[in-house]
Structure 1
Amino acid sequence: MSVALFIITIIAAYLLGSIPSSVWYGIGYFGIDVRKHGSGNAGATNTFRVLGKRAGTIVMLIDVLKGWTATCLASLLFYMSVIGETELLLFKILFGVIAIFGHIFPVFVGFKGGKGIATLLGMVLAIHPELAAVCITIFILTLLASHYVSLSSILSTLAFPVLSWVGMFGHPEPLLVVFGFIMFVLVVLTHQKNIVRLLRGNENRVNIFPKTNRA
């Protein structure tokens, strides 16, 4: 691969990740900057909290698509015969990580973005959809049991490298395991305040099935 093409694809992955879906959607359709409300985070969870389920779902899907598309840039290079099959996983991880970095530090809104969970999910879906499905299941079950998005995100992220390590879907791929544990550390670092609130018992809960008043 030429240096120029490598730089172009890296920039493309970063710009895809940098798309501030929650900020642009909130301002464009509601006239509300989600960074000035709720937790102040420019992510899907705070969008759910501030703008509601429909807006939160749209933002989450866009963020997932960002990670998936950026990661699939590697597949595009593979089909163009720019990289070989042995390099495919490495480049998928590289482009996906760059997209997550872009989501956390987006150039379009002053390098202050979200925590990257939805973008990470999109990346994992592009790399290993079966394992991603298991992690999504763990996230949903944890959320239903605890109502904590942060705890659900941390546990489902940890599940990826652990299940890869034990060979749940065949022989473990060392690169995938290492990547998974690095991503888990990154998620823990971006959720430090949430972890403190969890330990103190005052973390924000998500009311998944809000009660309705009946006359």
Structure 2
Amino acid sequence: MSILFITIGIIFAYLIGSLPTAIWYGKAFFGLDVRDFGSGNAGATNTFRVMGKRAGIIVMLVDILKGWTATNSAFFLAYFNLIDHQDLVLYKLFFGLAAVAGHIFPVYERFKGGKGVASLLGMILSIQSEAALLCILVFLVVFLIFKYVSLGSMTSALAFPILLCLPRFSPNQPIVVLFAFALFALVVITHQKNIVRLLHGEENKAKIRIRRR
């Protein structure tokens, strides 16, 4: 029975992560598909570029909330004793990963979504809030120095599993650290084009524009 509820929980987390915030917001308030403009990505960064600061902030916050909500849904299984409370962090990681996968491959939009960074942030805020805040700091430092959102995103994604290796942030289950490194690998995979452009000096530096209706 527990396996059934765990499976349902993972599916639920994936469906939450699949909510295509940037796409639906663009269509509802601007009459456009954000994937047809800018980088072609359905995430917060491209929303900032295409639809402006207000839209970008809203999309980013909702995407973070998706990851946080999906990850925290593991609490319901623990509350009803469907999983061992000692394994809560591990299951939160499972559900968070499902949400990030949903953001990247949303079932509602033919599996063409964003890169999952904001949802990943929501996940790590749920799992280890202190480490998450340090990851945000890492992102800001890298971004302010180099002006590349992609580089900041990948660096902060790498910072999370590294922080989990430290005694202060170390989880009870060592396998969680391995999953965290796997999530970093997922972020790298979704940023392959960005990496190529960075290596060739062709990556665009962040330029936030305000687009009026």
Q: TM-score range by the shorter chain?
A: over 0.9
Question: Which has the higher relative contact order, 1 or 2, with Cα contacts under 8 A spaced 6 or more apart?
Answer: 2
Contact 1:165 1:172 in 2 (8 A): no
2:108 corresponding residue in structure 1? 108
What amino acid sits opposite 1:114 in the alignment?
A: G
Give 5+ residue unaligned stretches, structure 1: 211-215
Give distance in 2, aligned partners of 1:173 and 1:3.
20
Matched, 1:204 2:204: yes
Give distance in 1, aligned partners of 2:5 and 2:177.
28
Give distance in 2, aligned partners of 1:141 and 1:38.
24
2:63 corresponding residue in structure 1? 63
Give the 3 Å change call, closer, same or farther, for CA 94–189 of structure 1 in structure 2: same
Give distance in 2, aligned partners of 1:89 and 1:188.
23
2:89 corresponding residue in structure 1? 89
Q: 1:179: how far off?
A: 1.5
3-state DSSP of counterpart to 1:153: helix
Give distance in 2, aligned partners of 1:58 and 1:141.
23
Instruction: Answer with 161-170 or 123-132: which moved more.
Output: 161-170
Give 5+ residue unaligned stretches, structure 2: none
TM-score for the superposition, normalised by structure 2: 0.93
2:25 corresponding residue in structure 1? 25
Q: Percent identity?
A: 56
Give the 3 Å change call, closer, same or farther, for CA 6–169 of structure 1 in structure 2: closer
Instruction: Answer with 17-26 or 73-82: which moved more.
Output: 73-82
TM-score for the superposition, normalised by structure 1: 0.92
Give the 3 Å change call, closer, same or farther, for CA 90–173 of structure 1 in structure 2: closer
3-state DSSP of counterpart to 1:198: helix
Matches within 5 A, 1:14-53: 14-53=14-53
3-state DSSP of counterpart to 1:178: helix
Q: 1:204: how far off?
A: 1.4
Give distance in 2, aligned partners of 1:198 and 1:60.
23
Contact 1:166 1:172 in 2 (8 A): no
CA deviations on 1:78-130 (whole Å, 9 max, x unpaired) are 12222221221111011000111111100101100000000000000000000
3-state DSSP of counterpart to 1:161: helix
Contact 2:71 2:92 in 1 (8 A): yes
Contact 1:164 1:173 in 2 (8 A): no
What amino acid sits opposite 1:29 in the alignment?
A: F
Give the 3 Å change call, closer, same or farther, for CA 181–13 of structure 1 in structure 2: same
Contact 1:164 1:172 in 2 (8 A): no
1:213 corresponding residue in structure 2? none
Matched, 1:141 2:136: no
Give distance in 1, aligned partners of 2:10 and 2:81.
18
